Chains A and B, each alone.
Chain A
């Protein structure tokens, strides 16, 4: 138990060091643009956690990031690259909006169906890339990335023409507004935080339990760890790949659905891609080394950085982009960890290679 604790603490040291270094570089950047470092960081903290309103705001922003991160983490754990979270999220959000708008029935029924349709849409989009890998040996890295453009432009077309909301005065590329009965309920009166956050937390815990305690989770991890070992032991790669890509895309689709049903109440072109939820989610996964609970935590951290950055922009002369600088350096330092552990492994291998 004790060794587990130290192991866990050991796993935390690197990310914490990375965060501190990133804040240091951020301080340098703030200094260079002529801002006061302490004041800027104080504003950043206030913007993220300064009051109950800002805390809920941060949590609300974290919601889609957590879900996307979980999906990416699942795929990474199985040894597959899913960089298509953005497209999967957009299709999930779009399908959720269409379902909630056009399926008849009571509100809760529409809501549940819309969430499911979001998961299915994202899942299918991602599994499609998996299928192309299995069938035509097309590299997942490339297909998942490029499918983003198809999804985003296709959704843009739909809301600009056939599904365009013509009722309002604003000539925006967006669907009609979903009926209030099918909205995800807000957790607190007057705050932006909605029930999607609880879904995301439950997702993180479920994924953690799944990976750790189930046979399929075990097989998924082994497949990611050493595909040959998995094949040798009778793990069916094709099947697992299909299901893990399906689930991975499902999480991203759910992220889109939750955002549409809890915050936007319609699909608005660009509303899911402009804030960069999908890429933040992938970064959260990288930060946490694909650990489900760690991913949720990292997502929260990134969301806080972003909402904090907005606070900085509102109240100081320092531009919003300072948050991006910190975020980017953070990722750099985390990738330094990757290569660092890679080096260690090579060293270990060289040692075991000569042990006789």
Chain B
């Protein structure tokens, strides 16, 4: 056995993040670690990587007990970690990023040639093609990930921890990554993968350890299990899908006509886009992130300047109207990036919850404190938001819980139209179920929803109609019946409609 973690317990004061966890890893094994937000996966990996000390328990590598004080110790023992957010210097070349910390030298200087040669050899050995001379900022996210993995390999890692490795990748890049992981495993490297995406886990992992509330709830062989069993172990109960009825679309709530948003380099970011969303339907916009979705949402909600074209909300022209006015006319908006747009980290749960409601919840310009608190308290109960109190700062909420707060806030605006952009990004299955259920409920209550998501399963599960966006253009429209993952993927990648 390559690695074994025995009876690991980590307590932060009275709170136990890990309780008596056992975890093992064999040579050449791909072992997935799954669990909801706050289940203790990250804490466990931080302990393994020397970033945290366990309160009790032992770590053995090849049978030898280890005590890691810093990540440097862990790296020396052959452990490498690729973080969810890449830690690369964008202005340095690929080779420079890979050899950093153990650069080949020539006298006092940095031997760039040797570095490039080393990286080329490494890249050949493990079958992960990169251009060592290219600037990292010019590489796609998929290549940047490869650079991260090569960096870890260059450090001599035998155990590689991947934290949410596919979060930012395109479907094609995900496939390549999974192939690369399997190849490396066949060459004797061992992987620990933390992920939310159960389907990918099932594809790539040999073994799966499930955590819930800091305890192991199951260790299963991937070939003996299925996604349903894993979800059950993660959530502790069966997940029920909200039953979906056939759509009964009413009149148009949102109309977008030949909308164009100019870009910096002459090429428009949103190019002559036209579509509509009617009441009682969910229209999904599928696409690889960065194909104009953010700008389209911005243009509709008044945050981005429109080049030409028209946006009508409930029959009124809202082109170039200030955000406040558009919101008053009937827009609510779950933003794609909850930290950038959706919340203020230093503000409390209540303060984050009252945004957009403040103008209603007032008397003579004074906030109606009591009614606001009871409103937010109600959301916390209904959406099972885990928070210390209503006065906890948003930065102390986990991503999933903050997302639930934002979803609750926007649904409570009670508007006829809702933009839901990546509504479940980085959110665990339990929270996803709640959010999806609420979106379908709003649609059944005659709401019009524009769903923007780079998650195909989400698009397919929720949408009544699907538009595919590629390089700022709508390149195809499919009804829920005719849409399949393959057809959408092909359109997303810029192929012709089959």
Option from A215, A230, A234, A356 in Cβ contact (under 8 Å) with B367: A215
- Please measure, in the bound complex, the distance between the C-alpha atom of A213 and the C-alpha atom of B366, giving whole angstroms: 6
- Please measure, in the bound complex, the distance between the C-alpha atom of A345 and the C-alpha atom of B37, giving whole angstroms: 20
Option from B195, B323, B399 in Cβ contact (under 8 Å) with A232: B323
Q: Which chain A residues border B345 with CB–CB below 8 Å? A: 225-226, 345
A-B complex: 4 closest residue pairs judged by Cβ atoms: A234-B324, A225-B344, A233-B355, A226-B344
Asked if B356 and A233 make an inter-chain contact with CB atoms under 8 angstroms apart, the answer reads yes
Asked if B426 and A222 make an inter-chain contact with CB atoms under 8 angstroms apart, the answer reads no
Stretch of A83-91, A111-119, A257-265, A347-355 that contacts chain B: A347-355
Residue of A nearest to B43 (CB): A355
- Please measure, in the bound complex, the distance between the C-alpha atom of A221 and the C-alpha atom of B356, giving whole angstroms: 14
Residue among A225, A349, A354 with most chain B CB within 10 A: A354
Asked if B83 and A232 make an inter-chain contact with CB atoms under 8 angstroms apart, the answer reads no
Asked if B389 and A3 make an inter-chain contact with CB atoms under 8 angstroms apart, the answer reads yes
A222 to chain B, nearest CB (A): 6
Tell yes or no: B342 within 8 A of A by CB.
yes
Asked if B391 and A229 make an inter-chain contact with CB atoms under 8 angstroms apart, the answer reads no
Asked if B367 and A232 make an inter-chain contact with CB atoms under 8 angstroms apart, the answer reads no
- Please measure, in the bound complex, the distance between the C-alpha atom of A216 and the C-alpha atom of B359, giving whole angstroms: 10
B47 to chain A, nearest CB (A): 12
Tell yes or no: A228 within 8 A of B by CB.
yes
Given contacts A226-B345, A236-B324, contact A354 B37 (CB under 8 A): no
Asked if A229 and B42 make an inter-chain contact with CB atoms under 8 angstroms apart, the answer reads no
Tell yes or no: B177 within 8 A of A by CB.
no
- Please measure, in the bound complex, the distance between the C-alpha atom of A332 and the C-alpha atom of B358, giving whole angstroms: 38
User: Which A residues between 177 and 219 are near B, CB-CB below 8 angstroms?
Assistant: 213-216, 218-219
User: Which A residues between 266 and 311 are near B, CB-CB below 8 angstroms?
Assistant: none
Query: Interface 1/0s, chain A 27-66, versus B by CB < 8 A?
Result: 0000000000000000000000000000000000000000
Interchain Cβ contacts within 8 Å, total number? 102
- Please measure, in the bound complex, the distance between the C-alpha atom of A349 and the C-alpha atom of B301, giving whole angstroms: 28
Tell yes or no: A4 within 8 A of B by CB.
yes
Q: Which chain A residues border B38 with CB–CB below 8 Å? A: 355
Asked if A222 and B399 make an inter-chain contact with CB atoms under 8 angstroms apart, the answer reads no
- Please measure, in the bound complex, the distance between the C-alpha atom of A19 and the C-alpha atom of B45, giving whole angstroms: 41
Tell yes or no: A231 within 8 A of B by CB.
yes
- Please measure, in the bound complex, the distance between the C-alpha atom of A155 and the C-alpha atom of B167, giving whole angstroms: 61
Number of interface residues of B (CB under 8 A): 50
8 A-B contact pairs sorted by A residue (CB < 8 Å): A215-B366, A219-B358, A226-B345, A226-B347, A231-B323, A234-B328, A349-B395, A355-B42
Asked if B335 and A232 make an inter-chain contact with CB atoms under 8 angstroms apart, the answer reads yes
Residue among B194, B355, B362, B395 with most chain A CB within 10 A: B355
B376 to chain A, nearest CB (A): 14
Given contacts A229-B342, A232-B335, contact A353 B84 (CB under 8 A): yes
- Please measure, in the bound complex, the distance between the C-alpha atom of A229 and the C-alpha atom of B163, giving whole angstroms: 28
Option from A218, A226, A234, A355 in Cβ contact (under 8 Å) with B398: A355
Asked if B41 and A228 make an inter-chain contact with CB atoms under 8 angstroms apart, the answer reads no
- Please measure, in the bound complex, the distance between the C-alpha atom of A219 and the C-alpha atom of B389, giving whole angstroms: 22
Query: Interface 1/0s, chain B 12-44, versus A by CB < 8 A?
Result: 000000000000000000000000011001100
Q: Which chain B residues border A352 with CB–CB below 8 Å? A: 395, 398-399
Given contacts A222-B351, A356-B196, contact A345 B395 (CB under 8 A): yes
Tell yes or no: B365 within 8 A of A by CB.
yes
Q: Which chain A residues border B369 with CB–CB below 8 Å? A: 213
- Please measure, in the bound complex, the distance between the C-alpha atom of A156 and the C-alpha atom of B45, giving whole angstroms: 66
Tell yes or no: B340 within 8 A of A by CB.
yes
Residue among A213, A226, A235 with most chain B CB within 10 A: A226
Option from B164, B326, B355, B367 in Cβ contact (under 8 Å) with A222: B355
Q: Which chain B residues border A229 with CB–CB below 8 Å? A: 341-344, 355
A343 to chain B, nearest CB (A): 14
User: Which A residues between 328 and 346 are near B, CB-CB below 8 angstroms?
Assistant: 345
Tell yes or no: B404 within 8 A of A by CB.
no
Asked if B322 and A232 make an inter-chain contact with CB atoms under 8 angstroms apart, the answer reads no
Known contacts A221-B351, A236-B322, then 18 further A-B pairs from the complex at CB < 8 Å, ordered by chain A residue: A4-B391, A213-B367, A214-B367, A216-B365, A218-B354, A222-B344, A222-B347, A226-B344, A230-B355, A232-B342, A233-B355, A235-B324, A348-B396, A353-B83, A355-B38, A356-B41, A356-B84, A356-B163
Tell yes or no: B223 within 8 A of A by CB.
no
Tell yes or no: B333 within 8 A of A by CB.
yes
Given contacts A215-B365, A232-B335, A233-B356, contact A356 B395 (CB under 8 A): no
B41 to chain A, nearest CB (A): 6
Q: Which chain A residues border B358 with CB–CB below 8 Å? A: 215, 218-219
A246 to chain B, nearest CB (A): 17
Asked if B84 and A354 make an inter-chain contact with CB atoms under 8 angstroms apart, the answer reads yes
